Amino acid sequence: MLTIESLTCWLVDIPTVRPHKLSMATMGCQTLTLVRMQCAEGVVGWGEATTIGGLSYGAESPEAIRSAMETYLAPLLCGQRFSGVASLAEKMNASVKGNTFAKSALETAFLDAQGKLLGLPVSALLGGALCERLPVLWTLASGDTGKDIEEGKRLLAEGRHDTFKLKIGARSLKTDIAHALAIKAALGDAVSVRVDVNQAWDFTTAVNGMRQLQDGGIDLVEQPIPLWDRAGLIALSQRFTLPVLADEAVATGHDGYALASGGFTGAYALKIAKAGGPAQALKLAHIAQAAGVALYGGTMLEGTLGTVASLHAWSTVNLQWGTEMFGPLLLKDDVVTQPLSFSDGQVTLPQGPGLGVEIDEEKLRYYARH
């Protein structure tokens, strides 16, 4: 049991190591919405909510996430005692609709505090880790074909990553296909290359594009069409041997059930932010497993806190397509005392109580928005 005494939020702006180009925006800085949960039992939990490109990506901006936590969720939760994440989620969902990013940060902070109180890692609270290291791909998203090839070859030579994702959809189909296939050809047959269209194509464009990508050796296509076109996504998954990864189209277990029952044959991208927290994301994972749909550990390009929260959840299930939890590597700095250990295309899951990471208070003050 934990009694929440207070919640404190910060917006933390950290530059990226290079511009990160998506179909809807180009990022040069990432804003982390961090929350500190003080509990009456003497433990403190930390959580993070992070989105991509502000409102150009989705309905929740960093500023709105902070406002939801401070204005609505903090008064609702402070002074209340909870037995676990189920009662916490029930309380939040009964009074606040949507706002899954804010809820994810709070569920993460609660799990961190609960793990510290019990002396257990968050993964143990979620069912127990199946592994201590998880595969991590890298996204090549400078927008320049030559630079992306150079970056991919360098990371291969350093032994840091052996699987890559490309962000396409912002330019013409011809340009995007040429870009993707040039990178695939340059990196070689032994390297897995996937593409993320971020909903930028219509169905007809997707049919044309996927045919060329399949012939060119691309391994996976993420969310090629808008999230609302569920029938189109199912049709694409059945039309090609090139697998379709549903991302924005599957936020909850209900979404996963609807796609699977309609005949979807691809994979689901799990993300704690779109589900409402690590435990909520696993509800989608379990439905996918029951339906025979493959899994992928997705990111919102979180810093270390959000990345670790995701990793604890992902470690409890089998991810046939691995993860893309490289968010901390895209940032020039972070607000934790010890960075995550990335090597050989994998990341090591922290083993300490709770999330297993500690906040650097000095860096938090330095990067926090005033």
CATH code (residue 206)? 3.20.20.120
Q: What is the pLDDT of residues 291-343, one digit of tens each?
A: 999 999 999 999 999 999 999 999 999 999 999 999 999 999 999 999 999 99
Residue 4 domain-assigned (yes or no): yes
* 138, 102: one domain: no
Give the domain range for residue 48. Answer: 1-118+359-365
* 92, 129: one domain: no
Q: Mention every residue, 6+ apart, whose C-beta is less than 8 A from residue 299.
A: 271, 307, 310, 323, 324, 325, 326, 327
Residue 169 domain-assigned (yes or no): yes
* 40, 167: one domain: no
Q: Per residue, what are the HEC states of 298-329?
A: CCCCCCHHHHHHHHHHHCCCCCCCCECCCHHH
Residue 352 domain-assigned (yes or no): no
SS3 238: helix
Residue 8 domain-assigned (yes or no): yes
d(CA 224, CA 194): 12
* 59, 143: one domain: no
Residue 210 domain-assigned (yes or no): yes
The residue among 124, 33, 98 whose CA lies nearest residue 312 is 124
* 325, 189: one domain: yes
d(CA 57, CA 303): 18
Structure tokens, 258: 């609807």
Which CATH number covers residue 17? 3.30.390.10
Q: Mention every residue, 6+ apart, whose C-beta is less than 8 A from residue 366.
A: none
Q: What type of residue sits at position 369? A: R
SS3 36: strand
* 195, 309: one domain: yes
- pTM of the predicted protein model: 0.94
* 167, 77: one domain: no
* 97, 234: one domain: no
CA 211 to chain centre: 27
* 135, 253: one domain: yes
Residues of the chain with pLDDT under 50: none
Sign of CA dihedral 123, 127, 133, 134: negative
Domain count across the chain: 2
Residues acting as catalytic residues:
167, 324
Residue 351 domain-assigned (yes or no): no
Residue 150 domain-assigned (yes or no): yes
Please return the burial class of 291, using the count of CB atoms within 10 Å of its CB with bins 0-12, 13-18 and 19+.
middle
Reported as half-sphere exposure (CB side, CA atoms, 13 A), residue 284 has a value of 35
The residue among 29, 12, 32, 28 whose CA lies nearest residue 104 is 32
* 271, 326: one domain: yes
Crossing angle of helices 100-118 and 304-314, rounded to 10°: 70
CA 254 to chain centre: 19
The residue among 269, 164, 229, 198 whose CA lies nearest residue 23 is 198
* 191, 49: one domain: no
Structure tokens, 167: 């962000």
Residue 101 domain-assigned (yes or no): yes
* 141, 273: one domain: yes
At 57 the pLDDT is: 74
